[in-house]
Amino acid sequence: MKHRLKAYARAVTAKGTDAHAIPSISQLLKYLVFSLVLAIIFVWYIVWGPRSDYPKGYFDQKNNAVWAQHSWSEDVHSPEEIRDFVETLGKHHIRYVYLHVGPLESDGQIPAARYRQLGEFLKVARVYSDRIVYIPWLGQIRNKLPLDSLSARSNIAAISRMFVQDFGMGGVHIDIEPILDNDSDFLFLLEDVRKAIGSDKIISVALSEYFPESVAFVAQKFMRAEDSISKDYMRKIDSLADQLVIMTYENSIRDGRFYRYFLKNEVIWLTNVLKHSKLIIGLPTYDTESDTFYPRAENIDFGLRGVLDGLSSWRSTHEVFEGVALYGYWTTDKKEWDTMRTLFLD
């Protein structure tokens, strides 16, 4: 019996020290090379990734947008001024004009004096083009607008109906900032506005940038991303709106190449999240530098290139993309209009 146990012990010892059980240096090198190749492929896929080349103007559906200043709805403008305005829009394939008529008061109303010239402006503008859709831009800071108040939401819905019915406008553009994650009162507002204006009119919503949960924490370390909302909440807004306009600026980005890369990924992320609304990417054309905005980086040139990079990526989808929006008309100069024509327009 003892001899058998000793033989068994010798066999186990021999097996445990078998050269085949310990990876050789050549095997370790193979593992390292394989892991390195996988890491390189992963980085390449995330940073660059497979893409297709599309001809210039391929993504221009002639459904671009612009935010227009309050003056057009409150002040008197000559027919020539309005004609020049409309012709500029037409040359750059602008279809949607978010025309500022507010801001909203804390009770959800807007004094009529603030849009006293709106009817005359629209009457003249429509003579020069019947393709452009004018949408009242209803804006306010979130903490100045108690959306938990039923009367405030009802007033916003009522004034939305008034702009649609009395002025023949194409819907409403709601720009309440910031909209934080899981803000149920904002969803109730969208439902109230839908009931007021009908299913055939546009509910357009301006939102801050979107970050998947997997990158939100990292994004907050390198840029201003505290207003980002979750995928679940984004889809709730998506289900209630017709058009989401993502304001991709004032992110404290100092390098244009990084802004371009950010825009690329923003397009990829959003085109895979949205299921109902059309996507419009908002780009800046103003030049006033601040702690959160560096125009040498966040501008229409790098922005458009990033949008095109995103749409060209195999990771994006094209069905929900509708165009780009410029913020704003009053700050867009000839050079920026030329950049839009050169890089993006058909």
DSSP 83-102: HHHHHHHHHTTEEEEEEE--
Assign 2 a pLDDT band (cuts: 50, 70, 90): very low
pTM as predicted:
0.87
| DSSP assignment of 221-235 | HHS--TT---HHHHH
- Least confident among 6-20, 36-50, 144-158: 6-20
64-343 in CATH: which number? Answer: 3.20.20.80
Tens of pLDDT along 257-270?
999 999 999 999 99
Token pair 């009931």 is found at 195
Assign 291 a pLDDT band (cuts: 50, 70, 90): very high
Q: Which two tokens stand for residue 201?
A: 């009119």
**pLDDT averaged over the chain?**
91
Tens of pLDDT along 303-344?
999 999 999 999 999 999 999 999 999 999 999 999 999 999
Tens of pLDDT along 176-225?
999 999 999 999 999 999 999 999 999 999 999 999 988 877 777 677 76
Q: Which two tokens stand for residue 84?
A: 């020049």
Assign 140 a pLDDT band (cuts: 50, 70, 90): very high
- Least confident among 3-17, 23-37, 138-152, 218-232: 3-17
Strand partners, 94: 64
- Least confident among 18-32, 122-136, 180-194, 240-254: 18-32
- The alpha helices in 129-178, defined as continuous H runs, are 150-167
As a whole number of angstroms, the distance between CA 189 and CA 192 comes to 5
DSSP 301: H
As a whole number of angstroms, the distance between CA 335 and CA 346 comes to 18
| DSSP assignment of 169-219 | --EEEEEEE---TT-HHHHHHHHHHHHHH-TTSEEEEEE-----HHHHHHH
Q: Can you give the pLDDT at residue 34?
A: 76
A 10 A CB-CB count for 203 gives: 24
Q: Is the pLDDT of residue 5 over 50?
A: no
Contact 33, 64 (CB under 8 A): no
Q: Could you give the C-alpha distances from 57 to 63, 304, 313, 320, in angstroms and in order?
A: 12, 12, 16, 17
Residue closest to 164 by CA, chosen among 126, 119, 197, 205: 197
DSSP 105: P
Q: Which two tokens stand for residue 278?
A: 């059309």
CB-based burial, 291-324: b 16+ in 10 Å, e otherwise? eebbbebbbbbbbbbbbbbbbbbebbbeebbbbb
Q: Is the pLDDT of residue 3 over 80?
A: no
H or E segment to which residue 140 belongs: strand 133-141
pLDDT above 90 covers a percentage of the chain that reads: 81
Domain ranges of the chain: 19-48, 64-343
Assign 20 a pLDDT band (cuts: 50, 70, 90): low
